Structure 1
Amino acid sequence: MMKLFVFASLVAIAFCAPREKRQLSVSTIAVTGAGGSQGCVVTGNVLYANGIKLRDLTAAEQTELTTYQTEVEQYKNQLREILNQRRENLKSRLMSRGQPQQQQQQQNNQVDNEENLPKAPEKPSFCTAEETTQYYFDGCMVQNNKVYVGGQFARDLSSDEQSQLKTFDTEQTAYQKAVQAQMQTQVRGLFGGSDFLSALFGEDSGVNQQQAVATTPASTGTSTLPPKPTVPQFCTAIY
């Protein structure tokens, strides 16, 4: 019961730890999604990122977009054909029950060969992480080195501020990875290095538990986290 309580506490910390990163740096890079204005959207020849107008596409980028549209349509058609074929194969397999084993094996092999799905087309080069990543700070949002307040464009970041943002992103990413790694180490140490579900319900034998503890002597120790990154002061919220 004590392990269950401690584990629940660790899980709560694990969910809370990276939350700041998600608030400060929310990436929406998808080109093909469920719809809406998130990610990259092109209407006419105008490029938008997360609902914010970026620029007009160049002639080369328009050609790239046309190629991408063709590849996406081909990809959808291939998926549609595979789905229909699998539906027919499923019907055949259901109807083939009771048939000779060799015939059933041939049908199973046919289904197995269809597991290799077509590869989705690569997104266009003009839809980059640099242009679509959003950083949410206290009072404003930064995207593509531009500051927005209340959804309205406010100003461009200076060259010095752009360097600060890159440094912050690098340090925050490293900090988040370190927190997650520490949490994994603590969970492994708590349950003797074994699978936590098995340890929780007492399914590991005493020998296995001793071996796990012996192989992870330092897992219960506390590793040093890198310093928490300093959040850039691109805007000031007045309370």
Structure 2
Amino acid sequence: MKLIVFATLCAVALAFPREKRQLSIGTISVSGAGGSTGCVVTGNVLYANGIRLRNLTSSEQSELATYQTEVEQYKAQLREILAQRRENLRSRLMSHGRNQQQQQSNDVSSQGTPDDGSIPKAPEKPSFCTAEETTQYYFDGCMVQNNKVYVGGQFARDLTSDEVSELQTFDTQQTAYQNAVQAQMQTQVRGLFGGSDFLSALFGGEQGPQQQQPSSTTPASTSSTTLPPKPTVPQFCTAIF
């Protein structure tokens, strides 16, 4: 019964309307794979999520050159660390007898991740690649990015000053609302298993039988939790159905 309710809660979470999506910015792909998500510079032209923003200034071009150098150094350090760890692991496997090779192979997962002290720090993203410019808001019929409205991927207009303030208020309220909904669902899921961890309850933890009783009181406590009011979605565009 608990698994059925849990599955229902998961379905509700997936069905929750996603009126805002914030994309990652400035991600680094060590393998060389890339895309148009986030900030992309070609020549001296800055794009955000595939949308042209502007030309870089001379100071920003210098900042970009420094960033490119730091990225190459970062990649080289990662490759060196991974190669050294592979070599160390191979040497350890060869130095032990066949009876111990199985034990060493079980340590591969732990050896594959460097210690915290040996992981190089990723370079800081350039100052011209900000969340304000790369955050996208999806509404019915249009998308807003960097205070500009796009319809079907085409630029339509700039937001007015009043609309910019309205969007900022919506962003703050929507974030608080989503965080509250997520926290409430986590509380409900924990309550279904008497406050125990889900995997522990699913696979029969030591206190599993003793923790089922509090779950009967959980609905009463979670139902009394008051969510903040759902924010009003700005009417920057109107979709005709």
Q: Indicate the TM-score class for this superposition, using the shorter chain for normalisation.
A: 0.7 to 0.9
- The one-letter code of the counterpart of 2:21 is S
Q: Check conservation: 1:194, 1:212, Cα contact below 8 A.
A: no
Classify 1:35/1:114 alpha carbon distance in 2 versus 1 (closer, same or farther; 3 Å). closer
- The one-letter code of the counterpart of 2:51 is I
Match of 1:63 in 2: 62
Higher relative contact order (CA 8 A, sep 6+): 1
Q: Deviations over 1:46-97 (max 9, x none)?
A: 1111111111111111110000000000001111111111121111011111
Match of 1:205 in 2: 207
Residue 47 (structure 1) aligned with residue 43 (structure 2): no
Instruction: Could you list the structure 1 runs, at least 4 aligned residues long, displaced by more than 6 angstroms after superposition.
Output: 210-213, 215-218
Q: Deviations over 1:187-226 (max 9, x none)?
A: 122211112333345434378528967x989744431111
Q: Check conservation: 1:31, 1:127, Cα contact below 8 A.
A: no
Q: Distance in 2 between matches of 1:32 and 1:114?
A: 18
Q: Distance in 2 between matches of 1:37 and 1:113?
A: 29
Q: Check conservation: 1:45, 1:56, Cα contact below 8 A.
A: yes
Match of 2:22 in 1: 26
Cα-Cα RMSD: 2.8
Match of 1:75 in 2: 74
User: Gapped runs of 5+ residues in structure 2?
Assistant: 99-106
Q: Distance in 1 between matches of 2:169 and 2:237?
A: 17
Classify 1:220/1:161 alpha carbon distance in 2 versus 1 (closer, same or farther; 3 Å). closer
Match of 1:191 in 2: 193
1:154 to 142, 153, 156: 156
- The one-letter code of the counterpart of 1:44 is G
Q: Distance in 2 between matches of 1:16 and 1:60?
A: 45
Q: Once the 2 structures are TM-superposed, how far is the Cα of residue 180 of structure 1 from its aligned partner?
A: 0.5
Residue 132 (structure 1) aligned with residue 134 (structure 2): yes
The farther-off stretch of 83-92 and 203-212 is 203-212
TM-score (normalised: structure 1): 0.84
Q: Distance in 2 between matches of 1:117 and 1:10?
A: 38
Q: Distance in 1 between matches of 2:72 and 2:123?
A: 10
Classify 1:206/1:70 alpha carbon distance in 2 versus 1 (closer, same or farther; 3 Å). closer
Query: Matched residues, percent identical?
Result: 75
Q: Distance in 1 between matches of 2:213 and 2:95?
A: 49
User: Gapped runs of 5+ residues in structure 1?
Assistant: 100-107
- The one-letter code of the counterpart of 1:198 is S
Trace 1:94-113 onto structure 2 (pairs within 5 A).
94-98=93-97
Q: Distance in 2 between matches of 1:157 and 1:118?
A: 41
- The one-letter code of the counterpart of 2:197 is D
